Amino acid sequence: LRVLSFVLIAPRQDPEMDVWCGKQASRDELRAVTGADIVYYDDEFHKALDAVEAQEGQTVFVPSHDACALPNDPDGLFLGLRPETTALGKVMAKARSLKTTEEVACLRFANKVSGDAHVAMWRHASRAFKGAQPPRQLWEHELEAVFAGETMKMGLRHLGYPSIVGAGAHAATLHYERNDAMVRSADDLVLVDAGAEWRGGTPGNKRA
């Protein structure tokens, strides 16, 4: 029985960028985060090919939209291998429909935090208009900021997609992302499509 290994190839950061971006994650740190068995950097493809026992004539599956898009290969490491750029994407798309218990838990947590952030956003909007004389100005991007702030408080530092906050006629634009208009009153219709990401999982939360 042959046991397959998960070999991760990570981009190598120029050491001069450490002062700007922080020190690059070590191999052990990358293994801990991704679950990879072996980690190489992208200037070590020869080691990665050795690790998977690549032989001449074998197919290399490349997740790419470009035909035969192999990594930069000045030394001819991939010479004799056959790149395949469509099958892997299809397999990965199918695999996303099957969730492990851990993945389901991540999605539920992201959904709970995102749902609570939506509630906090509407409460913020209600307070903005309630009893304010004259009525204060409320902007779409202000509601967007409330959502992002609430999810960040819970440790979800990234959104799964750009937030849509459309007031009035903007609510009818399917992918409205400008979020720079005013909410006119407490009776104005506001459509929000926003979801935070947690460990690669993002819920699709929409409220109006």
Poorest-confidence range of 93-102, 118-127, 185-194?
Answer: 93-102
pLDDT of residue 191: 94
The owner of tokens 């009776």 is: 187
Residue 61: beta bridge partners?
Answer: 84
Q: If you search the block for the tokens 């291998």, which residue do you land on? A: 81
pLDDT surpasses 90 at 124: yes
Mean pLDDT of the chain: 85
Predicted pLDDT of residue 72: 64
| pLDDT value at residue 59 | 73
Q: What pTM did the predictor assign?
A: 0.74
User: What is the share, in percent, of the chain residues with pLDDT greater than 70?
Assistant: 84
- For residue 70, pLDDT beyond 70: no
Q: What percent of the chain has pLDDT over 90?
A: 49
Poorest-pLDDT segment among 14-28, 81-95, 124-138: 81-95
Tokens standing for 10? 């990570």
Q: How far apart are CA 143 and CA 153, in angstroms?
A: 16
- The more confidently predicted of residues 161 and 67 is 161
At 77 the pLDDT is 67
Distance, in Å, from the CA atom of 68 to the CA atom of 86, rounded to the nearest integer, reads 10
Lowest mean per-residue pLDDT among 39-43, 46-50, 107-111, 191-195: 46-50
* 30: pLDDT strictly greater than 90: yes
Do you know the residue count of the chain? Answer: 208
> How far apart (Å, rounded) are the C-alpha atoms in residues 140 and 146?
10
Per DSSP bridges, beta strands 182-183 and 138-139 are antiparallel
Bridge partners, residue 182, by sequence: 139
For the cut 90, the answer to whether the pLDDT of residue 14 exceeds it is yes
Say which residues have a Cβ less than 8 Å from residue 191's Cβ, sequence separation at least 6.
164, 165, 166, 170, 171, 206, 207, 208
CB neighbourhood size of 206 (10 A): 12
C-beta neighbour count of 133 within 10 angstroms: 5
Q: How far apart are CA 186 and CA 191, in angstroms?
A: 13
